[in-house]
């Protein structure tokens, strides 16, 4: 078993990172080479601006290369809950923004010729308990009536054509949802940004930021550069930047580990007995699971196996065993199937689990995707580019308040308590 991301291992790494010192003068500097930062840089460079990206590790090293491979439309919360929290108009607009972002991903793939197995698969939101049926069905009816007619309700008998498991009692099908190979997409974005003129440095964490006459100077162990505007696109990895550069975001982002396993490639018969519908799937538990087939027919199975802010081989291995047990409960036919990959990554959660994008602390930012960044980050990256160019009207999160989390300075000491609370809710639901 490999303790590394399947997406990284099965994609050709980005080959055009700059090898010299970090230096130069730019219109915009982007911190973070994930989906958000790369698409912002791609758009800015296409418009003729001088753009630099500073990445602490390598292209796609964070959440963009460590996720479950889903591009799910719809809001993570219940739609009624989103309306109550945000108001009808903003909830509706945010739902539509997820749709637009998947459309944008499809468009970028076509424009830039990115080979990443993009496919409109549809998503199943699965009722894990009989007691979840009424709430899930009510959410479906509200969404179908108000904002998304490309949805359908499946009863338990209809599910047999979609999933080879008796663990679920009904499901909502979102027709617009998609999937792709995340590693090939993020490298494709980097190749496109580079091709349009972006300078990308890997292994260049930002260690300092200071105001200068014409903007900002960003310091890294490889040198320093100057830029008129700075975009922060670090999401769950904001807490790993030392010192003060991202302190504002560390007080508002909770980094939570998300863990994933991938089986060996399944045979045609095993696929027919496990996921014949070949869709993305998400369960209805608070501490739930998500799964799909990879382009080479592995079952990729993930979830919040443990409430931890640490992702390393030891932590990932513990979580992998929990995920294997969960996978076997849902698919007992895979109990003896080899696991080829086990990995984890950090998800940037906000207190209310809605993402944020705007301008604060003299930086433009987009982050806090709360586990749904793969689908939203491409659109947010483009909105951040528009903001850097002084254009308004493309940020679906504009004006959404983002207060700091009390007693939180970047290290989420309260995660075990959160895990206990959600576990209790699952047992009582």
List pLDDT tens digits, range 220-255: 999 999 999 999 999 988 877 666 688 899 999 988
Looking at residue 68, its pLDDT comes to: 95
Task: Parse the chain into domains and list their residue ranges.
Answer: 6-118+174-277+284-421
Per-residue pLDDT of 180-222, as tens digits, reads: 999 999 999 999 999 999 999 999 999 999 999 999 999 999 9
Looking at residue 414, its pLDDT comes to: 63
Q: Considering all CA atoms of the chain, what is the largest pairwise distance in Å, rounded to the nearest integer?
A: 67
**How far apart are alpha carbons 53 and 201 in whole angstroms?**
6
Per-residue pLDDT of 326-367, as tens digits, reads: 999 999 999 999 999 999 888 899 999 999 999 999 999 999
Task: Please give the CATH topology (third level) of the domain spanning 6-118+174-277+284-421.
Answer: FAD/NAD(P)-binding domain (3.50.50)
Q: Which of 72, 33, 75 is nearest to 51 (CA)?
A: 33
What global pTM score does this model have?
0.95
User: How far, in Å, are 1, 68, 186 from residue 317 at the CA level?
Assistant: 10, 17, 25
Strand bridging mode 70-71 / 208-212: unpaired
Looking at residue 346, its pLDDT comes to: 86
pLDDT exceeds 90 at position 115:
yes
Residue 151 CB contacts under 8 Å (≥ 6 apart), including other chains: 140, 143, 144, 172, 173, 174, 175
């Amino acid at each position: 078993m490999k303790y590394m991301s399947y997406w990284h291992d099965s994609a050709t790494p980005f080959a055009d990172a700059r090898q010299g010192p970090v230096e130069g003068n730019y219109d915009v500097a982007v911190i973070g080479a994930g989906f958000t930062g790369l698409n912002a840089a791609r758009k800015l460079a296409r418009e003729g601006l001088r753009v630099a990206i500073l990445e602490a590790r390598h292209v796609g090293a964070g959440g963009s290369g460590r996720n479950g491979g889903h591009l799910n439309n719809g809001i993570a919360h219940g739609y009624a809950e989103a309306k109550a929290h945000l108001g009808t108009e903003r909830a509706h607009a945010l739902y539509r923004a997820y749709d637009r972002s998947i459309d944008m991903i499809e468009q970028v793939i076509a424009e830039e010729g990115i080979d990443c197995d993009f496919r409109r698969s549809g998503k199943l939101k699965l009722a894990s308990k009989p007691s979840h049926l009424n709430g899930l069905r009510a959410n479906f009816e509200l969404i179908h009536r108000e904002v998304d007619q490309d949805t359908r309700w499946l009863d338990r008998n209809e599910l047999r054509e979609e999933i080879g498991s008796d663990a679920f009692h009904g499901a909502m099908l979102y027709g617009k949802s998609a999937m792709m190979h995340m590693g090939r997409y993020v490298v494709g974005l980097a190749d496109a940004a580079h091709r349009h003129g972006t300078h990308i440095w890997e292994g260049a964490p930002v260690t300092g930021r200071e105001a200068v006459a014409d903007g900002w100077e960003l310091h890294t162990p490889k040198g320093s550069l100057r830029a008129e505007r700075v975009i922060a696109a670090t999401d769950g990895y904001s807490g790993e930047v030392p010192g003060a550069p991202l302190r504002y975001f560390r007080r508002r982002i909770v980094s939570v580990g998300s863990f994933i396993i991938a089986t060996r490639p399944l045979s045609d018969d095993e696929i027919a007995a496990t996921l014949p519908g070949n869709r993305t799937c998400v369960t209805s538990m608070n501490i739930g699971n998500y799964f799909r087939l990879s382009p080479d027919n592995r079952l990729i199975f993930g979830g919040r196996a443990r409430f931890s802010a640490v992702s390393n081989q030891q932590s990932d291995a513990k979580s992998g065993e929990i995920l294997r047990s969960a996978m076997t409960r849902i698919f007992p036919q895979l109990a003896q199937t080899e696991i080829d990959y086990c990995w984890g990554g950090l998800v940037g959660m906000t207190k209310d689990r809605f993402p944020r994008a705007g301008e604060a602390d003299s930086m433009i930012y987009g982050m806090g995707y709360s586990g749904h960044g793969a689908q939203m980050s491409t659109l947010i990256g483009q909105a951040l580019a528009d903001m850097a160019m002084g254009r308004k009207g493309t940020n679906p999160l504009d004006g959404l308040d983002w207060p700091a989390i009390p007693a939180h300075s970047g290290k989420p000491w309260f995660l075990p308590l959160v895990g206990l609370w959600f576990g209790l809710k699952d047992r009582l639901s």
